[in-house]
Amino acid sequence: MKYLLLLYIILNPIFFLCDVEPRDAQQLFYQLSSVALFASSFFFYNKEVKKNKAHLWLGVLLLLALYSWIRSMAGWSQALNLLLGTLVYFTVIRTIRKDDIPFILKGIGLLGAFAVIYLTLQLSGFDIFGITNRAPPYGRLLTKSSFFYSNSAMGLYFAEIIPLVLALSPFAGICAVGLLIPTVLSQCAVALAGAGIGILFFFWFRKRIVFWCLLIPALAAGAVFLSDSENLWSYQIRLPMWGMVLQDSLKNPLGFGWDEFSEPKQAGHWKYVRESCGKMAHKTLKMIKCPDKSWELDRPVSEEFALAYSRKQAELSEWDHPHNEYLWLMSEGGVASFVALMFIFYYIWQRFERSYRDILSCAFMASLVSIAICAAGQFNLHLARVGHLLPVILGFFYISTEVSDG
């Protein structure tokens, strides 16, 4: 089973179809490969899964996801991806032994090394598969980001695997420093934060002296990064939008339903837009009486934008995701779904505190911390090339802390 799981881990981030938008192609492959992995698990020995309070709240989250889908009758892929992720998680904890984990981690480390090599070749002007020369259906050339199709996705992927590589060996730990280079090149602020905090978290529990040696350089690097406003320009737009999303979510605790953030279909539901030439966020109210799907701004645009718009030099750009998985969950799944997620977080942390905190459990917890941080500023769980690892890492965490499970 460990070979099938490793194949699943390797193929998901590198899969693509010609003339198909990478996000859609990889989501389809994630769905099909998750079903195949779950079905294959029946041919192997399955361990008994112990009763766990985190699983109870995971069940609550699934029921709330079903309710949100019934309310909106849309966004089936969102609910399906959550269900399939749950099936992959239980497949891992039922069929994988603790002794199998180092083998799989080596495979993840080698895939990360291959990604770095591929990126180096791209930057040198040699793209093996011609990814950067292939114009996807949406019309713009892809960035030099290895095989991840976007800088942010590359940074998010490395942020979640760096703590895993640290657990392999001291030599691998040194090599993990090299994985920080593509994370920096991604220019994704939240990925850098996630990677840095994940590394510090790991060494806080494993090598406290290394933690203190790394803390000052990490803080200095963070200060330099934050001192350049260009590195945070996107958050100047997102923060006002996040405030709007939070206010609207609290007014509707049951959520608006799946896909209602990107494609609201009911009267009174908000759609969030921004000026393409400025740094202002707005929200619009869909007019149910308008069959042409026209929108009406809830506040005036800036004079700068109005002038540019009149000259056809700018337009309103729509947000199809808040770039924050927690606010997305509150908006579409409701405050109750967010509360269920917080209970899951609490019981994961409680399980970690009660464990022996060996090198594997610390590495997986550090990776989960990194993923959680990245989710606060990006939509890493909506990208199959990145999000497919979450149920696997969570399963490994469960296995590595199983001895002390009461």
Does residue 293 register a pLDDT over 70? no
Q: Name the average pLDDT for the chain.
A: 85
Question: Can you give the C-alpha Rg of the chain in angstroms?
Answer: 22
**Which residues, 6 or more positions from 257, have their beta carbon under 8 angstroms from its beta carbon?**
68, 69, 71, 72, 74, 75, 266, 332
Is the confidence at residue 268, as pLDDT, over 80? no
What residue type is assigned to position 211 of the chain? Answer: F
Rounded to the nearest 5°, which phi and psi values hold at 316?
A: -80, 130
Burial zone of 381 (CB within 10 Å; 0-12 exposed, 13-18 middle, 19+ buried): buried
Contact in structure between 161 and 107 (CB atoms under 8 Å): no
Supply the DSSP string of 284-332, one letter for each residue: EEE-TT-TT--EEESSPPPHHHHHHHHTTS--EEEPSS-S-HHHHHHHH
Give the separation between CA 361 and CA 275, rounded to whole angstroms: 45
pLDDT at 291 over 60: no
At 27-40, the pLDDT tens digits run: 999 999 999 999 99
73-122 pLDDT, tens digit per residue, is 777 888 899 999 999 999 999 999 999 999 999 999 999 999 999 898 88
| Band of residue 257 on the pLDDT scale cut at 50, 70, 90 | confident
- Say what the pLDDT of residue 295 is: 62
The rounded distance, in Å, linking the Cα atoms of 249 and 146 is 37
Q: What tens digit of pLDDT does each residue of 183-236 get? A: 988 888 899 999 999 999 999 999 999 999 999 988 998 888 777 766 677 777
Specify the pTM.
0.90
Selected residue with higher pLDDT from 128 and 33: 33
In the chain, where the domains are located: 2-229+357-404
Q: Which residues contact 52 (CB under 8 A, 6 or more apart)?
A: 347, 351, 398, 405
| Chain segment 234-249, per-residue pLDDT in tens | 777 888 888 888 988 8
pLDDT value, residue 69: 85
Contact status, residue 82 vs residue 266, Cβ threshold 8 Å: no
Hey, what amino acid is at 203?
Answer: F
Q: What is the pLDDT, as a whole number, of residue 166?
A: 92
79 burial via Cβ count (<10 Å: 0-12, 13-18, 19+): buried
- Region 304-313 average pLDDT: 66
pLDDT for the residue 19? 64
Residue 365 in this model has a pLDDT that exceeds 70: yes
Give the pLDDT of residue 287.
46
With cut-offs at 50, 70 and 90, classify the pLDDT of residue 340. very high
* Backbone φ and ψ of 405, nearest 5°: -70, 120
Whether residue 405 has pLDDT greater than 60: no
Closest among 140, 237, 370 to 362, alpha carbons compared:
370
Whether the CB-CB separation of 293 and 286 falls below 8 Å is answered with yes
